[in-house]
């Protein structure tokens, strides 16, 4: 019966050690610089500066959305885009804009698409009944 706590503690210790082995790619932190992020064939990330002196993450997301729309008009088939701003990743997807601390980690919704495709803060638009 005493071996159960020892096994549980051992499994917990192994899980903690293995979680430290996860690859976590952090975004660059350059104040006011909005980046477009491209994954290379070898799996590394390339950061291309889109704009500087960007005042907020929302403005960077809007710049990336404008870039995505221009790419679509030029015939690009890629409907998703990734960017970075001051240490955070910005994921522009068909459902809206998601933010993440790491490239591989969890993503959290920041802006949603309205019925006509514009971006809005979640919960800002209410359905009239």
- Per-residue model confidence (pLDDT) at position 102: 95
Task: Report the pLDDT value the prediction gives residue 29, as an integer from 0 to 100.
Answer: 92
Contacts 24+ apart (CB under 8 A), 22-28: 22/104, 23/104, 24/102, 24/103, 24/104, 24/105, 25/102, 25/103, 25/104, 26/87, 26/101, 26/102, 26/103, 27/84, 27/85, 27/86, 27/87, 27/88, 27/89, 27/102, 27/103, 28/84, 28/87
- For the chain, the domains span 23-120
Provide the pLDDT for residue 39: 93
Question: What integer pLDDT is reported at residue 73 of this predicted model?
Answer: 92
What pLDDT, on a 0 to 100 scale, did the predictor assign at position 10? 57
Task: List the chain pLDDT tens, one digit each, 129 residues.
Answer: 555 555 555 555 555 555 555 678 889 999 999 999 999 999 899 999 999 999 999 999 999 999 999 999 999 888 899 999 999 999 999 889 999 999 999 999 998 888 888 888 887 766 677
pLDDT of 91 reads 97
The pLDDT, as a whole number, for residue 7 is 54
Residue 32 confidence (pLDDT) = 95
| pLDDT (0 to 100) of residue 79 | 86
């Amino acid at each position: 019966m005493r071996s159960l706590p020892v096994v549980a503690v051992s499994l917990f210790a192994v899980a903690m050690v293995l979680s430290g082995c996860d690859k976590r790619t952090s975004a660059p932190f350059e104040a006011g610089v909005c980046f477009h992020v491209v994954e290379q064939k070898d799996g590394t990330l390339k950061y291309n500066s889109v704009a500087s002196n960007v005042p907020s993450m929302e403005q960077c997301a809007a710049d990336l959305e404008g870039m995505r729309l221009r790419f679509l008009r030029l015939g690009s088939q890629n409907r998703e885009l990734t960017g970075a701003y001051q240490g955070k990743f910005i994921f522009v997807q068909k459902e809206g804009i998601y933010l993440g601390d790491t490239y591989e980690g969890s993503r959290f919704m920041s802006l949603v698409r309205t019925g006509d495709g514009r971006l809005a803060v979640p919960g800002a638009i209410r359905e009239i009944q």
